[in-house]
Amino acid sequence: MMNGKRRILTATAVLALAVMTIPAAGHAQEAVIGIKGGIDSYNLSWKPDSIAPSLGHKTGFVGGLFGGFMFTGVAGLQLEALYSQRNVKDQDDDVSLEAAYFEIPLLFTAKFSVADTPMRPILFAGPSVSFESKCQVSGEANGTTMTFDCDDEGMQVERTKTDWAVVFGVGIDYPVGNFLIGGEWRYNLGLTNLNSDPDTSDFETVKTRSWAILLTVGYPL
């Protein structure tokens, strides 16, 4: 897994450096900075799934900052810094897991022109790395709701706190005055096995799966 992460990081760095050199070739650039926010729905993929708990999706908040530029009329690069809530609920035992991550996606974008309208459809995809900032488990016992931290003594949830993923999705933007207003749908496909101790667990792998809908507000530079 470490070799896989290193390959992703190395490839991302090489592509980013290559992109940075393209403006020297004389292409017109379109740079933008902005904010985005919306809701996400998070779940976990278990193997073997025959004994996986019955988890239900719980929506959470996702949002943050982004900056990007187009290095041709169509192709571009976008870096984001996001805060995302990742919540799931065991429907059988009424137990909830509430986690939060700082997420850094590096997305390669393609924006297309539409005849007779300034609206631009967008496709994007790229790697993302997330770092856990919060993890809590809550449940009911004898009519009382109990909450504990995933690292509390005697209640530890063994897990990997850094999550690598591939992000892809679609969106649109539309100029309104001096701003670009848009929306997007994205999917996060987790690559990291969050089960840090599979030898003593019933599960071989536990990986993240989520989708999000966001509103974006950009300011062209």
CA dist list (Å): 209 to 61, 82, 126, 158, 206 = 15, 17, 15, 19, 10
Q: What is the torsional sign of CA 161, 162, 166, 170?
A: positive
221: amino acid identity, one letter:
L
Share of the chain above pLDDT 70, in %: 76
Q: Report if residue 19 sits inside a domain.
A: no
**Cβ atoms of residues 181 and 174 within 8 Å:** yes
Q: Give the Cα-Cα-Cα angle 141, 144, 147 (nearest 5 degrees).
A: 85
- Give the pLDDT score at 137: 83
**Any alpha helices (H) in 84-217, and if so which ranges?**
none
Domain of 98? 30-220
Q: Report if residue 18 sits inside a domain.
A: no
- What DSSP line would sit under 115-152, residue for residue? TTB--EEEEEEEEEEEEEEEEEEEEEETTEEEEEETTS
The pLDDT-based confidence of 22 (bands split at 50, 70, 90) is very low
Q: Report if residue 135 sits inside a domain.
A: yes
Q: Report if residue 67 sits inside a domain.
A: yes
Q: Report if residue 77 sits inside a domain.
A: yes
Q: What is the Rg, in whole angstroms, of the alpha carbon atoms belonging to the chain?
A: 20
Mean pLDDT of the chain: 83
Q: Report if residue 175 sits inside a domain.
A: yes
Distance, CA of 62 to CA of 103 (rounded, Å): 10
The pLDDT-based confidence of 27 (bands split at 50, 70, 90) is very low
The count of structural domains within the chain is: 1
Q: What is the pLDDT of residues 160-200, one digit of tens each?
A: 899 999 999 999 999 999 999 999 999 999 999 888 776 66
Q: What is the pLDDT of residues 68-80, one digit of tens each?
A: 999 888 999 999 9
Q: What is the pLDDT of residues 62-106, one digit of tens each?
A: 999 999 999 888 999 999 999 999 888 776 667 788 899 999 999
Q: Report if residue 14 sits inside a domain.
A: no
- Give the pLDDT score at 21: 47
Distance, CA of 67 to CA of 80 (rounded, Å): 7
Is 133 a residue whose pLDDT tops 80? yes
The pLDDT-based confidence of 56 (bands split at 50, 70, 90) is low
Q: Report if residue 16 sits inside a domain.
A: no
- Any idea what the CATH number is for the domain that residue 76 is in? 2.40.160.20
